[in-house]
Structure 1
Amino acid sequence: MISKDYKQNKEQVLALYDEYVNTCKASGKKVDDSISEQAKKIRNEIFNLMILGEAKSGKSTFINAYLGKEVVPMDVRQCTSAIIKIRKGDEFKLTAKTAGGGKTTVVGYDKIKAFLKDHAAISDKYRNIPITTINNELLIKYHGKEISNQIMTSFLEEEAKDNIFNMNSDEYNNLIRDYVRENAASWRKIITEMEITYHLPDEMQGITIIDSPGVGAGGNVGKIAEDYIAHANAIIFVKSLNGQALESSSFMNFLRNNCTNRKKESLFLVLTGKSNLQGSEFTSLKEQAIEMYGQDIKEEKIICVDSKMQLFLNKCRELNTEEKIGEFFDALDEAGDDFAPASKCWLKSKGDITKFDDKMEEMSNFRSVQYALERFARVANYIQLIEFLENLEREYTRYKGMFSDALKVAKENIDDPIALEDRITQKKKEIADVYLKISQGIADIYKRYTDNINSEGIIMSEAAVKQDNYEEQLENFRNLPESKINENTFASMKKVTLDAIDDTKDFRRKMADRVIAECNEKLIQYTNDYSKIPTEAYIPNFTETDFDNIDLAAKEKTSGYDLVEKGVTFLKTEEKVPYHHLKKHVGLVADSIHDRLNNDIMPTMIDNVVTYVTNSCDTYKEKLTEHKRELEAEYQKLLEDKNSNEKRRKNVEDLEKKVELVYKGLTQITELKGELTNYVAD
């Protein structure tokens, strides 16, 4: 759970924001909208923690153990294709959404349990087929319409790998067909998303646990889960150590097919069932896990736990007394439900609750999960706080330049109103000249980046380099000898494509940052004179909220990459390619990607980046215009009061107070920023 230290520091940052708001009010300035929005996001911070895992991996047990309460009923069968979101709330309430757009709300544990059993659970008949994939790829996708033989045959061939219980293939396929027939008419009632609120600890405020349906052997998670993965702050993949091989095709395929390089940074692998292993066996399995998955996940993010031990510990903490805990274990023993590792631990503690608690916590090892997540979340959130402080710092620095120069003019000419008028007229002309020059400068910079007519624009040129690199990777796949081609080759091609698409977001932000940096350099060039208004009084302050708004505008004006991300390229080319033509198969896939690259992906990417940069330039110009008006207003006030000696002196006093407030704010921000940087560095 996110550290309380972070919450305390967050409050300090928000207190400095409140002081910034007060400074703006005292100075007659408008609070920057993007900074207000950023403060709101920090105040209502949401940390999305997604839980994934194979069927029967113990996800529900892990979630309940992590939360400290049985929020997800563990004796209810798996909930089909539904995403379950869990967050802190005032009551135990479930809200279910269906594929047809319906919504149902249920309150109370017993009613929620009954609702899940009646409307969301999988019947025993269909427990061993991939319900999540069937619901998403057949029933919901085709709105319950009759599935053609070609689509069904292709689907059955693809899903053969998810026959994890090694059923007879005919029986397995017939069950899938039966399920589709039985549920086609009621596809609208399929529950796709559930939200549960519960009286969770205060530390869970702002944290949303997202429980995803089981991951198939191919690593597939379904369209709905893919959308949540894209916005998850952290992902935990749960795998049981009991009765399953440590090597997991579903986990490896999830890494290859659904987890881009960026998302790997936020991925944790949790291996459950630790207490059932002997010391040497546990050590050996941990070393194997690191060897298998260490290239994709950092060692400290591969964690062995025992969810059941933590559940027992949570229950015993509720009971709280030696007598009640003893009665609890006796009752379990009489009912034949004894959990040996926990009861053994209780017997060894000889009624010492503290000793029992320490030993159980050591065996469950949930502290390691909390520590790893806390460390990960802390760094991410502290970076956000530091960036916010830097935005406040830039606002204060802008005001410092504005007020300091106006104060200098007012002081120099306090006893000479005619000289004051001349100086202010000169300053207003200076502002107009700088604004005219930078406006032309922005236009010139924009043209250099976006000139696509002669293919000489920077965006077009750098996109061409990216395309060449991508073509080279495709050529490497084409040149693979047939002996080196296997099912992972196609997954790797898809993964390379997804990473390339993911890289588009970095590319357009990089271009926008460069454009803004060049505009700022032009401003410095035009204001690099001690006698002139300082550069910082003009420079626009770009926040993450500004870039979010720019991103949203770009999405509205340009198309995305849905077809590629959904794997259409691969489905089109893989169909009915004989096994003995694997090299031809790879060539067809590479050719298809090449065509999409030239005719769709790259042109769309360039359009998207150009639109993004256009919006960035427009935002820069808007902010610059706003700063120009503020500067003019500051000097206009001096001009209006030039004939009153008393008002001239009062203006000087007011400006001195404004400068004092700005310096105070800058000092506090610098001190706190230094403290927060130490947290990130730890």
Structure 2
Amino acid sequence: MITNYKQIKEEVLEMYQDFLAVVDEANFPLDNKSMIALKNQAENIRKDKFLLMIAGEAKSGKSTFINAFLGQEILPMDVKQCTSAIVEIKYGEGFTLTATYAGSHTKKLVGEKDIKEFLVKNAALNDDYREIPVTTINNEVLIKYKGRFSERVITDLINGVQPENIYGLSSTEYAKKIRSYIEKNKYSWADIVTKMVITYPFEDESLKGIEIIDSPGVNAQGRVGDITNEYIENANAIMFLKPITGAALESTSFRSFLESKSVERNGNALFLILTRAANENPENLERLQHEALKLYGNTIKTSQIISVDSKVELFINKISNMTVDEIESYLDELDSNGRLDAFITPPRSMRMLIKEKYIEFLKAKSNFVTVDHALNIFGRKTHYLALSELIGRMLKVYIRIQDDLEEQIKLNKLKVKDPTELARQIAEIKRKLNEINAKMGKTVDEVVTRYTSDSGIVRTKAKSVIDEFTTCVGAISNDDINQLEKISFRKIDEAKKFQEEMEKNIVAECNAALIALSNENKIKYTSLEPDFTAETFAEIKQKTEASAQVEKSYTSGTTFKKTHYSSEYSRSEHFRLIKSSIQTRIKSIQNEAINNLIDFANETAATYTEELAANAKAKKEELDRIMEEKKNAEEIQETIESMQKLLNQISPLVNIAKERKGGIDANVQ
């Protein structure tokens, strides 16, 4: 699928093997954290994982698309609606399925027959409940409350899923079906399948590194579950399927999906796949494609809006290994059974069926080659970056080894010429190392104090974020709660960026100060996600709405007047209560961020100090070892020549690594 990447990956992994040989010959310690991280990264590259998320509205043909993409009919395509289960499909030595249930127990099946029976049973719904949003009910009631819920929970759910009544049931019938489903399944919630992992022995080598996630359908408001959101944020690519026929290209659900928080963060990875393209004639197809570009071209890259037909691609997979006679016989069979789709019929120009031209004709209709091409361009970017990072880490170790070798050669030459001078050099280096330890320890303390003191950078910046929020909220007109929600989430994202910025600045200052530190990438940025979600805001709105009442008075009677009092909902009071609650929440989040950053600064300082002390100790031991060696001049000369040979061996490896890294970096710009 992506041969160029495969070739480069193999070259980099070969470079890694050469690197390990040099590390072994140089007796470089393999148990330090940087080498362990480097080894793990090489192993991840070797596995070549690529996470592809498939999302879409109900009846968008996700299963058919996945089967066509994989070239294997793995998922059942005749079910009308999926359950709430996430389905992972990846390469394995055999065809297996492992199901995880809401009660945390699992079940494993092996073999095509049992697996497909299980998929049909667990991916299809009872006909009585096809018209209600079962996925939402499972996640928001049955699984969430483990079968124990109040009437208020059911009532709130029924009110909340009214926009998902896409079959136009009366409100009474819609509510009745929802209650019936809940009652039937409330005691068996633990047996709801929440995840299915399928392994399959794909023959196509290019598919072995791809892991496909088939998500539950997007609801009428463009929402997906919390678990699906996690997959979206981690996906290398997201393909949203939308039929090009039968519904308007402009839809509230897809627009809402685009604007969701998880998709927005991974927006560059989003593809819009317009399915059932073969049902349209070329003129209509071109018009619909142009309309899709007009609607979504500002949000999704033009090259990532693609029209395809999965049924045509499946048909191509079906006939690819047939002879011409077998194809014509199969077409006759479909025709006699009334199942010969118009898009399969060969054009009039093919009176005599030529297999190559017929498949070329079908491929133009399926357009899956465009999907492959788009993934070829986009899909490996993250992997190229991983290759570049691996080479960069190897280069740092190479330079460390080169410096050590050059210094050891220099010391050995001094030892040959004048042991007394060598001893003086050893003492001088020890003295300098002691000075560096003392000086750097003090410098780290100064950095930590500057950031973490009462008037330090962290608290000052945190206060600034809170003040900016208060100012923005104060500028909202008409007590607009929706505007308040948008500002709140924007400030929460700024709170997260604030932590990341502070962490990076702390590490950068320590790196700049600790000039003797060998491993600058030792500190990880452990940014913590602020505890504030759309559900949090909804909860605040709900809790404050009941309190958002103001007292009103009116007078009755003519002779004997009487004043009456009543309470009614006040939008401005509701706005004030929400604002107050969110301000309190944001201050709490910022206080937590301050505490996290203080801990981070102290941990960073401790880590740098520990590393520096280890470097000083290792250098001292090396110098002591050289000083204590009692070799004659010939032995020392052999050691020098051996080190020089290794040094000469490293230099071209460094040049090759730099050249390859530069090429990769240019490739992903």
- Give me the TM-score of the superposition, normalised by structure 1: 0.88
Residues 311 and 261 of structure 1, relative CA distance in 2, 3 Å threshold: same
Q: CA deviation at 1:121?
A: 2.2
1:259-338 paired onto structure 2 within 5 Å: 259-319=262-322, 321-338=323-340
1:512-531 paired onto structure 2 within 5 Å: 512-524=503-515
Corresponding residue of 1:61: 64
8 Å Cα contact 1:258/1:495 also seen in 2: no
1:229-628 paired onto structure 2 within 5 Å: 229-319=232-322, 321-345=323-347, 348=350, 350-451=352-453, 454=454, 456-476=455-475, 478-479=476-477, 481=478, 490=482, 497-498=488-489, 500-502=491-493, 506-524=497-515, 538-542=517-521, 547=524, 551=526, 561-562=530-531, 564-565=532-533, 567-574=535-542, 588-599=577-588, 601-628=589-616
Residues 258 and 611 of structure 1, relative CA distance in 2, 3 Å threshold: same
Corresponding residue of 2:556: none
Please identify, of 76-85 and 238-247, the stretch whose mean Cα deviation from structure 2 is larger: 76-85
1-structure distance, mates of 2:293, 2:244:
14
Q: CA deviation at 1:52?
A: 0.7
Q: CA deviation at 1:299?
A: 2.0
Corresponding residue of 2:647: 659
**Structure 2 unmatched ranges of 5 or more:** 549-567
Corresponding residue of 1:25: 24
Residues 68 and 260 of structure 1, relative CA distance in 2, 3 Å threshold: closer
C-alpha root-mean-square deviation of aligned residues, in Å? 2.6
8 Å Cα contact 1:540/1:624 also seen in 2: no
Q: CA deviation at 1:504?
A: 5.1
Q: CA deviation at 1:77?
A: 4.4
Residues 614 and 495 of structure 1, relative CA distance in 2, 3 Å threshold: farther
Residues 622 and 337 of structure 1, relative CA distance in 2, 3 Å threshold: farther
Task: Please say which structure displays the higher CA radius of gyration.
Answer: 2
Counterpart of 1:47, as a letter, is F
2-structure distance, mates of 1:500, 1:329:
61
2-structure distance, mates of 1:515, 1:361:
55
Q: CA deviation at 1:587?
A: 5.1
Instruction: String of CA shifts for 1:132-173, please: whole Å, max 9, x gaps.
Output: 11000000000011x322222222111111112222111111
Q: CA deviation at 1:127?
A: 0.8
Instruction: String of CA shifts for 1:410-456, please: whole Å, max 9, x gaps.
Output: 324422111111111211222222232222222221222222xx2x3
Please identify, of 178-187 and 223-232, the stretch whose mean Cα deviation from structure 2 is larger: 223-232
8 Å Cα contact 2:91/2:199 also seen in 1: yes
8 Å Cα contact 1:14/1:39 also seen in 2: yes
Q: CA deviation at 1:403?
A: 2.3
Q: 1:196 aligns with which of 195, 198, 203?
A: 198
2-structure distance, mates of 1:659, 1:469:
56
Q: 1:47 aligns with which of 31, 50, 71?
A: 50
| Secondary structure, counterpart of 1:269 in structure 2 | strand
2-structure distance, mates of 1:138, 1:11:
49
8 Å Cα contact 2:59/2:80 also seen in 1: no
Corresponding residue of 1:532: none
2-structure distance, mates of 1:442, 1:267:
43
2-structure distance, mates of 1:277, 1:41:
43
Residues 426 and 597 of structure 1, relative CA distance in 2, 3 Å threshold: same
1-structure distance, mates of 2:540, 2:86:
29
1:669 and 2:648 are equivalent in the alignment: no
Q: CA deviation at 1:392?
A: 1.3
**Structure 1 unmatched ranges of 5 or more:** 525-534
2-structure distance, mates of 1:152, 1:74:
32
Corresponding residue of 2:133: 130
Instruction: String of CA shifts for 1:197-252, please: whole Å, max 9, x gaps.
Output: 11222111221100001111122211221222222221111111221111121111
2-structure distance, mates of 1:225, 1:350:
49
Q: CA deviation at 1:384?
A: 1.5
Corresponding residue of 1:8: 7
Aligned residue pair count: 643
Instruction: String of CA shifts for 1:601-647, please: whole Å, max 9, x gaps.
Output: 22223333443444444443343333333333332332122563334
Q: CA deviation at 1:494?
A: 5.1
Residues 515 and 598 of structure 1, relative CA distance in 2, 3 Å threshold: closer
| Secondary structure, counterpart of 1:80 in structure 2 | coil
Counterpart of 2:647, as a letter, is V
1:224 and 2:192 are equivalent in the alignment: no
Counterpart of 2:437, as a letter, is Y
Please identify, of 135-144 and 404-413, the stretch whose mean Cα deviation from structure 2 is larger: 404-413
Instruction: String of CA shifts for 1:619-678, please: whole Å, max 9, x gaps.
Output: 433433333333333323321225633343233224323432432331221121122223
Q: CA deviation at 1:583?
A: 6.1
| Secondary structure, counterpart of 1:129 in structure 2 | coil
Counterpart of 1:247, as a letter, is E
1-structure distance, mates of 2:349, 2:599:
68
Q: CA deviation at 1:259?
A: 2.9
Instruction: String of CA shifts for 1:538-569, please: whole Å, max 9, x gaps.
Output: 331416xx62xx63xx76xxxx545x225122
Residues 585 and 236 of structure 1, relative CA distance in 2, 3 Å threshold: farther
Q: CA deviation at 1:117?
A: 3.0
8 Å Cα contact 1:48/1:234 also seen in 2: yes
Q: CA deviation at 1:330?
A: 1.3
